[in-house]
Amino acid sequence: MSSGDRFRVSWVWTSRRSIVKGPGCRSTARNESNEQFAPERLKLYYVSTNDLTPNTYGGFRAAKVISDTCRRASNWRRVTDAYIHPRRKALKLIATAAAFSIVKPVRAETGTTIHTVLGPILPSSLGFTLPHEHVMVDFVGAEKTNRGRWNPEEVIARMQPYLLAAKHSGVRGFVDCTPAYLGRDPRILKKLAQKTGLHILTNTGYYGDAEGRYLPPSAHSETAAQIAARWLAEWHDGIEDTGVRPGFVKIRVDGLAVDRSRLSEMDGKLLAAAAAVTRKTHMAVTCHSPGSSGLSAALRFAAEGGDPGKFIVAHCDDNGFELNQRITAAGSWVSIDGIGRKPEADHLAIVLPLLQKSPDRLLLSMDSGWYNVGEKDGGKINGFNALTDRFLPALRAAGVAAAQINHVTIENPARVFAAAVQRL
């Protein structure tokens, strides 16, 4: 190992309630913050590589956090999970941790990390999250779309105020659902994350509409396993030349035009590929699938070995309660992501019954934004504030408790987007 090697050092305290309860802990603590710190549950991951993007955190601060955490037991939230250090500092940190007997190099685990465009964070750090939005889209088609069609600085200048306005209203996490060949540009998302302080996620996957306009030619000839290998390569190596790794999988599955509940060959292939990728990475899959194709997609995904608890059916607003119940009964997520497009009362009529019946499988977002490449200045932008500024007050006025709102807007995104640690 040369002295130029850099370590990624990260640690995660798994907070399984039965294990973390220690002496003096308020029993049956439901709130994480009441849980006692337990050094044996703090696991330190470390790997070395010289292929890491710079990170602003220093080794000293990391070592300090770990030792402080050992002393001040209750404040475990201060432990942050990703630091990148020069070799000397990393070794010192590992030695510090070893002195407290809490070093346990482990392999990838499920549900431990949210992978943002700036690197991994703890699920508990994600905060209030919009699980389905778009900074930019380019609908020109897979054959024609390319980076020369937009100027990143112009897109950033146009979109940054909308992201800051959302942040001002309490948004912390932002899941960008624009897939490859449809205007995905991690360079833009990374700069926006740096400028706004938002936790932004991007994705791997393909957008397979019925005509295949947004699929690369290889998608038609390759098998599900070959497609999965391409997506896994992005998870391991980063997207294109950016070093940015995906935080979830985004696919589109339409079903057949004559009967949406029947899936096409391409639909099945994309779902099999997504299932294969999730089995390895535990990444969530957001699936654009209108009407009954969403339920069929969820069932096929599970049949292909995917964890239904990682499958998000997007755009469920107009499904009707019964179909949405069948999706959640299958273990998958219902994403009501058209908030802001209808009068508040109409959204309430959709969301309130779901909040009652399946609060653990419900996500809320706006599918907003859309700097539209090809239009002057990106065309008309829809801001990201309808959920926080209009719909949440309507929910409160309808008698929904703050804890329930937090559950759906903070805890649910943290649960579903938590993935395995990316090994280098």
Interface with Zn ion (CB under 5 A) = 177, 367
Q: Which of 324, 335 has the CB closer to Zn ion?
A: 335
Q: How far is the CB of 208 from Zn ion (least distance, A)?
A: 14
Q: Which two tokens stand for residue 314?
A: 């997007």
Residue 361 DSSP label: G
Q: Which of 119, 186 has the CB closer to Zn ion?
A: 186
In this structure, the strands spanning 6-13 and 83-86 are antiparallel
Residues 351 and 316: beta-carbon distance below 8 Å: no
Residue indicated by tokens 């396993």: 225
At a CB cut-off of 8 Å and minimum separation 6, what does 186 contact? Answer: 117, 202, 239, 240, 242, 244
Q: How far is the CB of 182 from Zn ion (least distance, A)?
A: 10
Q: How far is the CB of 280 from Zn ion (least distance, A)?
A: 25
Q: Which ranges of 247-374 does DSSP label H, i.e. alpha helix?
A: 265-281, 293-303, 321-329, 344-357
Q: Which of 97, 182 has the CB closer to Zn ion?
A: 182
Helix (H, G, I), strand (E, B) or coil at 50: coil
Q: Which of 47, 140 has the CB closer to Zn ion?
A: 140
Q: How far is the CB of 80 from Zn ion (least distance, A)?
A: 30
Q: How far is the CB of 132 from Zn ion (least distance, A)?
A: 6
Q: Which two tokens stand for residue 380?
A: 């008309």
Q: Which of 120, 173 has the CB closer to Zn ion?
A: 173
Nearest-CA neighbor of 33 among 102, 124, 114, 100? 124
Q: Which of 185, 367 has the CB closer to Zn ion?
A: 367
- How many other CB atoms sit within 10 Å of the CB of residue 154? 13
Q: Which of 267, 367 has the CB closer to Zn ion?
A: 367
Q: How far is the CB of 221 from Zn ion (least distance, A)?
A: 27
Helix (H, G, I), strand (E, B) or coil at 23: coil
Q: How far is the CB of 177 from Zn ion (least distance, A)?
A: 5
Cα dihedral: 325, 327, 333, 339 (round 10) = -60
Helices (H) and strands (E) in the chain, counts: 15, 16
